[in-house]
Amino acid sequence: MRVELGPVGYWRHELSHCLHTTAGVLLDFHGLDPVRVLGAGWGFDYPAGDVRREEYYFPGAAKDLFAGLAPYHDVHSRWHEPADAREGWEQVRAALVAGRPVAVAADNFHLPFRPAHRDVHTNHLMVLYGFDDETGDVFVADPVPPAFQGTIPLAALTAARDSGNPVRHERDMFFTANPIGNRWLEIEIGARQPDFDAAFVERVLAANLRGLREGSQAPSGPLRGLAGVRAFLTGAFDRLAADPAVGDEVFVVIGPVLAVTGLHAEFLREAGRAFDDLALVELAREVDRVAHHWSALRIAVATAGEEDRAAAVPGLLRRTAALLDAYDVVLEAVERRAGGAARSVGVIPD
């Protein structure tokens, strides 16, 4: 039997990683615009200490990743955790036969098209959209550079999905020591989605503003909004010199926040052009500035070596202050745009 679902296109944003890239490919398959869906939400929601060593980690959305990625759309996902590799392939194969491409977790060490092949272990996510029983191949879409779409042996996919994802040497960083477990994601797309119009954009702006301004930094609960960003980063850097694991936590958490920020800038830029609204284009530029600050902070954390951690802390705190200032510039602009209405609009959908 041979199944090749289509059309499966290429989609990637330069600041996204495998989670957003995989989601974008699947959304596009189902007829939704990835930027309009993935770029609408912008916030911060981190249950402190709940970080997982996965490249497809998204804070606060462990059970429904795609709902976390697309808070204003009827888009959901569900993890399947098969008992073993055989059951894992049977489940995925059945979904493909039913016409549904899926996302599969995999260890790059076993994937022949990844630069990490036979070198570095890591916890990756990609789209599977077909198989050929006669040749023993499967169809894979992975736009993450160097970008690949085509067939690989089922045996290679099985090894990647069933990997223990071990730490073998010092270059197995951030997304290791967490078995893949043959996990796969099933996406659910609702029949009714919001229109991409000027009113929708204004509601999104107001809801995001409220979420960022009305944050929470309670030590016993999730860190949310701008207050949560401040508490997370300053608290982490206070502990960094004594605990090197803190650097890994900050690096992993920043990844999806950076992707969300870059995509939100793209969302605003597209809205500004679609509705001939130069103020939205300018707002997109300011959100881009926030993304650049996140990017610089992530690099600084990743490169703070063991001997330099204490010396790196003052610089990291200065970068944090600059990041928070950049957020304030954006949010003040949104407040000026929306006026009092921004404080009364609820999150959509409820």
The Cα 26–Cα 12 span in angstroms is 12
C-beta contacts of 190-194 below 8 A and 24+ residues apart: 190/73, 190/74, 190/75, 190/76, 191/74, 192/74, 193/32, 193/37, 193/73, 193/74, 194/72, 194/73, 194/348, 194/349
Residue 62 has pLDDT above 90, yes or no: no
Q: What's the pLDDT score for residue 175?
A: 63
pLDDT higher than 70, residue 115: yes
What pLDDT, on the 0 to 100 scale, is given for residue 23?
97
More confident residue, 63 or 320: 320
Q: What is the pLDDT of residues 279-315, one digit of tens each?
A: 999 999 999 999 999 999 999 998 886 667 888 999 9
The pLDDT tens digits of the residues spanning 120-151 come to 888 899 999 999 999 999 999 999 999 999 99
d(CA 167, CA 299): 22
Cα→Cα distances 270→39, 77, 280, 291, Å: 10, 26, 9, 17
Residue 349 pLDDT more than 60? no
When pLDDT is cut at 50, 70 and 90, the band that residue 69 belongs to is very high
What does the pLDDT look like over 144-203, one tens digit per residue? Answer: 999 999 999 999 999 999 997 766 655 545 666 678 899 999 999 999 999 999 999 999
pTM of the model: 0.91
